[in-house]
Amino acid sequence: GDSVTQMEGPVTLSEEAFLTINCTYTATGYPSLFWYVQYPGEGLQLLLKATKADDKGSNKGFEATYRKETTSFHLEKGSVQVSDSAVYFCALTGGGSNYKLTFGKGTLLTVNP
Amino acid sequence: DAGVTQSPTHLIKTRGQQVTLRCSPISGHKSVSWYQQVLGQGPQFIFQYYEKEERGRGNFPDRFSARQFPNYSSELNVNALLLGDSALYLCASSSGTSALDTQYFGPGTRLTVL
């Protein structure tokens, strides 16, 4: 079945550092890919998405590019802020089950001032 | 506008008991999905309901059931609770049935089974 693997956390960075969180997937067909973020005490929020190969999703300075050849969707940000501290989830939907999201385990990011 | 609301916030039950969790979607949203998030794991899909009909079911036992009401709110029921049912239960609402439609998640109900 479909699955998402993302890099183990936690990740601790200093403010203004470069962020990469790796995500790879296994899916039948051509899934759509997402990054969701869970800030402390809040519900999951969609951060960005990409629906086809080579698409780049972007939002709030975060970017991720849908790489079909490497089945990857790595999350990047050039300069993180303390307010970016959260848990980040990579997810996919597609194939015959496009009504549901399949999530990775999540990566905890802590940004120190 | 109010977001997705869930009740209760926290719940403590003992093994074998039954529990009902509630979700109110964003106004105008007809689709409600339920996810289970065990500590340290990503959310796992349980059900989707749209227009009061079940549109999708995840790999969960029959002890899990749900329904959607005419006002599109939803309840998730879990019978014969097991220790392994301890988790954060998330509700998400959206305008349509596809996961491509932006899913708006509630803050969750934290269930602890003793």
Residue-wise pLDDT for A25-74, tens only, equals 999 888 999 999 999 888 899 999 999 999 999 999 999 999 999 999 99
The rounded Cα A109 to chain-centroid distance in angstroms is 12
Structure tokens at B15: 């093994």
Q: Does B56 touch chain A (CB under 8 A)?
A: yes
- Burial per residue of B76-98, b for 16 or more beta-carbon CB atoms within 10 angstroms, e otherwise: bebeebeeebbbbbbbbbbeebe
> Torsion-angle region of residue A54: left (phi > 0), alpha (psi -120 to 50) or beta?
left
pLDDT at position B96: 83
Answer for the pair B33, B48: CB distance below 8 angstroms, yes or no: yes
Give the best residue of B32, B35, B45 to mutate against chain A (max A CB count within 10 A). Answer: B45
Q: Which residue of A has its CA nearest to B54?
A: A99
Tens of pLDDT along chain B (114 residues)? 679 999 999 999 999 999 999 999 999 999 999 999 999 899 999 999 999 999 999 999 999 999 999 999 999 999 999 999 999 999 999 988 887 788 999 999 999 999
Instruction: Tell me which chain B residues have a C-beta less than 8 angstroms from the C-beta of A43.
Output: 3-4, 90, 104-108
Name the nearest CA neighbour of A106 among A6, A16, A2, A26. A6
Q: Which residue of A has its CA nearest to B40?
A: A105
Q: A100, B102: Cβ pair inside 8 Å?
A: no
Helix (H, G, I), strand (E, B) or coil at B83: helix
Which one-letter DSSP state was computed for residue A83? G
CA pseudo-torsion sign B51, B92, B4, B112 = positive
| Whole-number average pLDDT of chain A | 93
Name the nearest CA neighbour of B99 among A64, A16, A98, A97. A98
Q: Does A98 touch chain B (CB under 8 A)?
A: yes
